[in-house]
Amino acid sequence: RKEVRKLSTGAQGLDNLIGGGLETQSITEFFGEFGSGKTQIMLQLAVNATMPEEQGGLNSDVLIIDTENTFRPERVIQMAKAKNLDPDETLKRIHVARAYNAHHQILLAEKASDIAKEFPIKLLIVDSLTSHFRSEYVGRGSLAERQQLLNKHMHDLLKFGTIFNAVIAVTNQVSANPAVFFGDPMTPIGGNIVGHTATFRLYLRKAKAGKRIARLIDSPYLPEGEAVITLTEDGIID
């Protein structure tokens, strides 16, 4: 087993919450409602991953499986400049694959290992993990098939992380669960399948101005807790 490495989010408080950064050989899931900052965090992680290890990076290339067409090179350029990186060099290291439907998304994850033989990919992002599955497998009749495909997809991602000693970061939306009467009724899509395969789960919710609260849920060995982050022009900060 290769030594686990850690990727900084760029925000000290959030890094501390998850034990120093996102771990390789694990899946870290960020879930939250629309606008909660999931894609911003993915873009920040992509930029950070290209940085040297001394600066919290992985000195690596990045593969983004983009299912919602929300990748924005302009935003990467802003974040790269804020870290004093050459924006063009940074963009060259971030490989974006657009997934057109759930099956295409599964296929891209299967093919990720081919790309990793050509480029040193230590960060694989799926933004969003569940949007296609949610829109294509509607209703109770298709739930079993959806969960089975999601399960296979998650295991492909985890396998990639293990083989290449890479960080896997995925985003997930929430839906209002009418069965929850106490506490927060917002639950992530995919339920137990996603929950059991993701090692770290972070729930993002909106606070004042650009602030977001990240809550660590169901961690195998870290205490539950929260960290506040701020979404700025320069990227994610404390």
Q: Choosing among Mg ion, ligand ADP, none, which partner's interface includes residue 35 (Cβ < 5 to 8 Å by kind)?
A: ligand ADP
72 or 111, CB closer to ligand ADP? 72
34 or 182, CB closer to ligand ADP? 34
Asked if 229 is part of the footprint of ligand ADP (rule: CB under 6 A), the reply reads no
CA triplet 99, 200, 205: central angle to 5 degrees? 80
How near is the Cβ of 70 to Mg ion at its closest, in Å? Answer: 5
Asked if 185 is part of the footprint of ligand ADP (rule: CB under 6 A), the reply reads no
Phi/psi at 227 (5° precision): -135, 145
Window 63-102: contact mask with Mg ion (x via CB under 5 A): -------x--------------------------------
Which member of 10, 37, 57, 161 binds ligand ADP (CB under 6 A)?
Answer: 37
Copy the structure tokens of residue 29: 């899931």
Q: Choosing among Mg ion, ligand ADP, none, which partner's interface includes residue 40 (Cβ < 5 to 8 Å by kind)?
A: ligand ADP
Pairing between strand 27-32 and 200-206? Answer: parallel
* CA proximity to 228, closest of 197, 201, 207, 199: 207
Cβ-based neighbour number of residue 163 at 10 Å = 13
Q: Choosing among ligand ADP, Mg ion, none, which partner's interface includes residue 230 (Cβ < 5 to 8 Å by kind)?
A: none
Which of the 8 DSSP states describes residue 25? Answer: T
Between 143-163 and 102-118, two packed helices, what is the crossing angle to 10 degrees?
10
Asked if 208 is part of the footprint of ligand ADP (rule: CB under 6 A), the reply reads no
Copy the structure tokens of residue 181: 């009467």
Are 49 and 7 a contacting pair, CB within 8 Å?
A: yes
Which member of 54, 88, 114, 233 binds ligand ADP (CB under 6 A)?
Answer: 233
Asked if 165 is part of the footprint of ligand ADP (rule: CB under 6 A), the reply reads no
Classified as helix, coil or strand, 111 is helix
Instruction: Please state, in angstroms and rounded to a whole number, the distance separating the CA atoms of residues 95 and 46.
Output: 10
How near is the Cβ of 205 to ligand ADP at its closest, in Å? Answer: 10
- What residue ranges bind Mg ion (CB under 5 A)? 38-39, 70
- What residue ranges bind ligand ADP (CB under 6 A)? 32, 34-40, 210, 231-233
